[in-house]
Amino acid sequence: MASTNRPICFVVPPYLLNAISVSSENEASIRESALSALNFHKSYCTKREKRFAALTAPRGLRGAAHPTQRGIVPESMLKHIAESTEVDEYTRSCAKRDLEHIQNVQVKYQQAQGLQVKTATTSDAVEGEGKKKPDTETTYRAVYDAQNDANEENLPGKVVRVEGQKASGDEAVDEAYDNAGLVLKFYKDIFNWQSIDNKNMHVVSSVHFAKNYENAFWDPEIAQMVYGDGHTFLTNFTGCIDVIGHELTHAVTEYTSPLDYTGQSGALNEHVSDVFGIMVKQRVQNETADKADWLIGEDCIMPGVKGVALRSMKAPGTAYNDPRFGKDPQPDNFKDYEEVETDNGGVHMYSGIPNKAFYSAAVAFGGYSWEKAGKIWWETMQSGQIPPKCTFLQFADVTVDKAEELFGEEAATIIQKAWAGVGVVRKTRT
């Protein structure tokens, strides 16, 4: 039986938090804050590992039931949207439609159980007699305020803004709402992928998590984004479109080719999120591959830090070098790969190796990164050929094959050279 372990991904890697927590260059309060975030990371992952280890559903099966395939937006919220005067008529009508659908499903379920229930409403009956429902449902965004509560059991918190409502005036709320929309638009426009699961799954976010919490993460169990406000060195998580793209892509990965979050497959999991996160950023900024900076999380770094970002896809290992942070430990070549016990086998550290391969391929193709390189990576994740414990070499093999299928022999050669450039040498092609 394949593992169901899906630890939570945090955008700030544990090795960076650890470096801040132990550096004598930092004040005691800063070290304590970083240590608190690091301990939360460890305890949360341990709890979720035990949770998912207890599950028995096989992973990696295309079309298999997913634990988060449920109505994330509750009936009460749909009712609120349907009746709100603060949203437009189209959004109200969509919410009303989906609310009626939920209620009808509940009625049918109760009837199947032999319970006496109220019959369908007049509007339901009319719809059942021939009124055609829209072909697609609406993806609802909802942003909550965690109110600096560090207890994850109390998530999502207090609802602040839901689909169709105007800006709330809370910068973090509005950034989380708007930037999630940009990520969803990218997937829809470029890859014809609807929301996270291609079935218009609703997207929920909580901001202001804990006090001075220097991180953001996607929680796969409750299927939502969680953002801290940051502190001395790291902040502005809701304002970093690549960070949001990265985290939401972890959810998309679960619905395409789930990759075990450990060792090489875990590093590929992180890599895929960086790839799609950087493409979202480049599209928003209208940058071609050769003009882009290829920095992940550059807007998270506070002024005064000797560094430019959390990671560099173009030059892994060069994102920062600060006595309060340590030096960026990412290698850029597979020859420097070593098995480690920390960070789930180095998933954040070694993602730099495939990251550089993607960067090299995108620049070699020219134009926008999503036109060819991104298309190849997307089709690779859709191929059904990526096993949960995929190695770098296995992943490279599929990308080369997909490049040839999509764009021909020359494209396959470009991809092969990109992988060879980071020490991942493909087997002889047949």
Catalytic residue numbers read 247, 348
Residue with token string 């009303």: 96
The answer for residues whose C-beta is within 8 angstroms of residue 160's C-beta and 6 or more apart is 143, 144, 145, 168, 170, 173
Residue with token string 């602040």: 160
Q: Which two tokens stand for residue 215?
A: 């991180």
Q: How far apart are CA 387 and CA 8, in angstroms?
A: 20
Q: Which residues pair with 235 in a beta bridge?
A: 230
Counting other chains too, the contacts that 46-52 makes at CB distance below 8 Å and 24 or more residues apart are 48/6, 48/7, 48/8, 48/219, 48/220, 48/221, 49/5, 49/7, 51/221, 52/3, 52/4, 52/5, 52/6, 52/221
Q: How far apart are CA 385 and CA 17, in angstroms?
A: 35
Q: What type of residue is 216?
A: A
Q: Which two tokens stand for residue 216?
A: 């953001």
Q: How far apart are CA 312 and CA 296, in angstroms?
A: 6
Q: Given CA atoms 81, 82, 85, 90 in this order, what sign does their dihedral have?
A: positive
Phi, psi torsion values for 421, nearest 5 degrees? -65, -20
Cα atoms in the Cβ-side hemisphere of radius 13 Å centred on 384: 4
Q: Which two tokens stand for residue 332?
A: 């850029």
Cα separations (Å) of 150 from 47, 208, 238?
Answer: 15, 9, 18
* Under 8 Å between Cβ of 174 and 141: no
